[in-house]
Every structure is written in C-alpha cells, then in structure tokens.
Amino acid sequence: MPDRVIVTTDDLETAVRVNAGLEAGGLDTAMVSSLDDVRQAVSGKEPAAIILTGGLHEATAQRLLAAAREHAVSTLGLVEPTDEDPNQIGRELGLTAWLVKPVDPNEVTATARRLIDRRRLQHRTGILGESAAIQEVLVKIEQMAPVTSTVLIEGESGTGKELVARAIHDLSPRHGKAFIAVNCAALPDTLLESELFGHEKGAFTGAAERRLGRFELANGGTIFLDEVGECPPATQVKLLRVLEDKSFFRVGGTQPIQVDVRVIAATNQSLKERVASGTFRDDLFYRLNVLSIYLPPLRERRSDIPLLVRTFIAEFGKTHDKQFKGITPDALQILVDADWPGNVRQLRNLIESMVVLAPAGEIRASDIPRDIRERTRTLPVRIPHKEPGAGNQELEFIFRTLVELKIQLEALRRRIEDRPAERVEVIEVGGHVSPTPSSRLPDPLVPEPDGPVIYKAGMSMSDVEKAAIDAALKETHGNRRKAAETLGIGERTLYRKLKEYAID
C-alpha cells in the first residue's frame, strides 16, 4: 500500500496543486482541514508525512505539529515569503523541512519522497530523533553507505556509534556479508593483535591450532573497530598496513593474507589530541578519518528525548508483556532536563527499569531515581568541538556547570573555615581516613611511610594522582596489576599514567 501523505487546506489553491503533484508521483494523499479530518484520514495508520500549506502560526497547526513530533511523523511546511529568514521560521516551528512559496509541485513531491525515505531509514536502523543533528547524521549515513572509504565515528559513550556503523553496513553493497565488531579497549595488548589478525599454530604458548582473526572473518564485509584510540603502538602499525595494502600477517605467520574489508572505527576520545600527545599515529589517524561522523550527546538534542522515551516505553512494555500507560508530563520534563552523561544507553536502561518496577503502570516523577530528579551532574570526559552555527547549547551547559561548581566550592570553603585550625583532612589510599595536625603536614608530593596520601592546599589534581599511584605501588610492592585494581583503573591506563608522570 502506498505511503499516505496528509495535505492541509489552509491555502486551498496551493493544496490542490500540491495534492495533484503527489498523486502523479504515486503517493496516496488526503486533503484535510482540521485535526478531526486528520484522525479520520489516517484511520489508525500514521501518515508518512504531513504537508502544511499555510496557517503555520495558528493553534490548529501548532497542535498538529506537536502530534506529529510525538508520533515521529515528518512535517513539510510551505512558508510564506516574508522578510524573515525561512530557515529560522522552520526551526522555531519544529518543521522537519520547509519550502518558500510559491512552490513547484514537483519539488514538493521530491521533498516528500526524501522525508519518507528518511523515515524508513530511521525505522530500519533504530536511529531516532527529529533534531537537526540527528537528521544530519542520517544524511551522512545515506551518503557514506554506497562507497568503500573508511569512516571514523566520534562521540561520547552511549551515543550509538555501533548503531551508526551497522546502519552504514546494512545500507551498503556489503550488507549480505559479515559485520564484525571488535572493542579494542576490552582486550589486553597481548591478545588484541591475535584477535584482529589471527595466529599460526605454535606462534605462542597456548596456540594449539591456527586461528583466523577478525579481519579474515570479515572478508568481503565490514569490520567495526570500537575505541580504536586504545590500540597499542604495535597494533597501530599493523592496522595502517591493512588500510594501505589490504594485507597482513598472522601472528607467527610468514605468508601475507589479502582481504577486502571496509573499516569503520569509533572513539569516545579526541584522536587529534592523542596524535598531539604522541599516543596515536598521525598517519593512521589520516587513513581512518577519510569520512567522519560526529554523534552529539543527548544533552545537545533534548528535543529528541520525548520521542526516545515514548519509543522505549512501548518497546519494553511489549518485551515484558506489560500494559503500560506511558509517562506523566512532570516525569517527562524531569527526563528532558537531565544531563545524561551515559547518553541514549543510560536513558534506555533507565526506562526499562522503570517500566518493570513502576507500580502504577505509568512512569511518575516519584519513580525516577533521586540522582536524576535532583539533577546530580558529572562533567563528561570530553566536550567535543561543535561546528559554527550549531547553537549555544554547549556554552550554556558549560556555564551552568561552572556556576554549580562555584556554589559547591564556596560551600566547601565555608566548611573548611569552620573546622578547627589545628586539623586538616587526610585522604588515605587503601587505608582509613584520619585527621592530621597541620603543623606536621608532609611534602604534598610524597606519601607518608605507612602509605597515606596527604592533601595539602596548593596541590593540583595531577599531584594527587601521582601520589596515589606511588602509594598504590608501594602497598602492592610494585605489582602493577594489583596496583591498578587498588586504584580502580585498567592496567593499560596505569601504564599510561606511569609514563605520563615518569614513575619508575
């Protein structure tokens, strides 16, 4: 059955011409004059798109746009020619696309087709959102899928980098071949090379038989290298060879292996910064960064949160076989206002837990965890650069965060001033916390013989971190694995810190 397009009759002459063009283009159409007509026209099936021919600022159009956003229906507005910027009008109204009158019916039909194809792409890939940032991501996916160039996907953890990689593969000519995902940060340095390139029998202790690597398994298809910035230098060299020559050697092998693999890499770090610090090869960065996609964090596209919330509620209500009503307006507003350091993954997991546990079959404000309700914030690891003209959300987020930090620091200062002058707080790594007289403060960079790390006014975070690492190594008698466990960090991260602070 052809996709149905709703055309409003606010501008009747334009509506008739547009409707005729859509029908000539093979689309099923319905002309409506009110919300009741829209409900009757769709008859239980949501339209593929709605075209508003006029009255964009009127209450009926506003209600129609709100309903379209709630149900993820694309909207095309035909804007009157005025002195105002039509792009600004379109963004303020929340339109998916817009054209300035007078319009060519063929152009309207072509635009409607693009919107319908974009909606199909969203349903196929699971990449949901009406914000300009997500629409840009979808456009790039469509452009990058048909070619074989390498792609670098950048974005914070939980933004959906693997989802984008799978979408590129599924829309590419390689969609019938394998899609192999590898998390480079989850494998120790000693195993990563073998996992990627395979090994020969007897190549090392425990190599009882030949094993094919991920690149061989992905031959003809796509390999996704998640957290590629964590690759050790030796593996970076081999990756560069694969990208340049399409060949590699298995561990312990002497014969080159030829493969035809498209490489899609992802990182939640700034590879440019890692190149500048010398921890990532610049030539590998340039080979990976042929095509690039930036995935914005959820706090930079808050307008998408209501759609995501309703989608996840419907999904998990069906998964857990629960008759779930939805979410109250005040609860939804709390979720929209939250900062989501874990991004879409965090929101999705939270919605699932609330669908399972909410006693009333509806998410209420009281069902939302306290840290979300009270907006307890944590700074993201990296605030990525935004292109000019992308808005001021990032600056607003930084400003709000700095104001809150200032308030917290002022409260901390008052508490310190109220504390008895002869005592300061001692922070001990791996031990207890106890007060120490201020007259006996040790050197701020040196742990005390028994292991405590003392904080002294004027110390930087780097000083504290270095002292904590020193204390952990002394406590574990130089055992780096145990020291990393004591500090609650990965062994690879500890090695990087040892090098950074020149610790023997």
The CA dihedral of 117, 121, 124, 126, to the nearest 10 degrees, is: -140
Predicted pLDDT at 391: 45
CATH of the domain at 367: 1.10.8.60
Q: Are 152 and 60 in the same domain?
A: no
Render pLDDT for 78-102 as a digit per residue (tens, 0 to 9).
Answer: 998 876 788 888 888 888 889 999 9
Phi, psi (rounded to 5 degrees) for 483: -65, -40
Q: 274 in helix, strand or coil?
A: helix
Cβ atoms of 75 and 50 closer than 8 Å? yes
Give the domain-ending residue among 106, 125, 144: 125
What pLDDT does 74 receive? 86
Instruction: Examine residue 484 and state whether it is found in any structural domain, yes or no.
Output: yes
Residue 25 sits in a domain whose CATH number is 3.40.50.2300
Distance CA(464)–CA(233), nearest Å, equals: 28
Angle at 424 between CA 379 and CA 402, to 5 degrees: 20
In a domain, 410, yes or no: no
Contact 173, 220 (CB under 8 A): no
Does residue 381 form part of some domain? Answer: no
- Residue 439, domain CATH: 1.10.10.60
Same domain? For 141 and 252 the reply is yes
What's the CA gap between 58 and 383, in Å, rounded?
Answer: 39
Same domain, 151 and 289: yes
Domain that residue 184 falls in: 135-294
Same domain, 155 and 270: yes
- State the pTM of this model: 0.66
pLDDT of residue 488: 78
Q: Mean pLDDT for the chain?
A: 81
Residue 369 lies in a domain: yes
Residues 162 and 93 in one domain: no
Both structure tokens of 161: 């980098």
Indicate if 176 and 68 belong to the same structural domain: no
Six token digits for residue 141: 């996916």
pLDDT in tens, 133-192: 898 999 999 999 999 999 999 999 999 999 999 999 999 999 999 999 999 988 888 789
Residue 352's alpha-carbon distances to 233, 312, 418, in angstroms, are 40, 7, 45
DSSP string, 12-71: HHHHHHHHHHHHHTT-EEEEESSHHHHHHHHTTS--SEEEE-S-TTSHHHHHHHHHHHHT
DSSP string, 137-192: HHHHHHHHTTS---EEEE--TTS-HHHHHHHHHHTSTTTTS-EEEEETTSS-HHHH
Whether residue 189 is found in the same domain as residue 59: no
> Cβ atoms within 10 A of the Cβ of 159, count?
25
pLDDT of residue 259: 93
If one counts the domains in the chain, the total is: 4
Q: Token pair 């055992």 is at which residue?
A: 479
Q: What is the pLDDT of residue 495?
A: 79
- Report the CATH number that the domain containing residue 188 is assigned in CATH: 3.40.50.300
DSSP code per residue over 284-338: HHHHHTTEEEEPPPGGG-GGGHHHHHHHHHHHHHHHTT----EE-HHHHHHHHHS
Asked if residue 161 and residue 280 are part of one domain, the reply reads yes
In a domain, 386, yes or no: no
Domain end call among 61, 91, 125: 125
The reply to whether 405 falls in a domain is no
Beta strands per DSSP E along 200-311: 222-226, 247-248, 257-258, 262-267, 291-294
Backbone phi, psi, residue 500, to 5°: -65, -40
The tokens for 379 are 């700074």
Are residues 151 and 282 both part of a single domain?
Answer: yes
| Residue 354 counted as domain residue | yes
Domain boundary among 315, 347, 373: 373
Same domain, 28 and 80: yes
Q: Is residue 190 part of a domain?
A: yes
Q: Residue 492: exposed, middle, or buried by beta-carbon count in 10 A (0-12, 13-18, 19+)?
A: middle
DSSP3 helix / strand / coil % (the chain, rounded to 5) = 50, 15, 40
The reported pLDDT for the residue numbered 179 is 96
Peptide bond preceding 437 in cis form (omega within 30 of 0):
no
Same domain, 160 and 245: yes
Q: How many CA atoms lie within 13 A of 257 on its CB side?
A: 23
The residue behind tokens 């390139």 is: 197
**What is the distance between the alpha carbons of residues 101 and 76, in angstroms, rounded to a whole number?**
12
- Residue 46, φ and ψ in degrees, nearest 5: -65, 140
Residue ranges for the chain with pLDDT beneath 50 = 1, 377-392, 420-450
CB neighbours of residue 81 within 10 Å: 9
pLDDT tens string 256-283 = 999 999 999 999 989 999 999 999 999 9
User: 39 and 21, same structural domain?
Assistant: yes
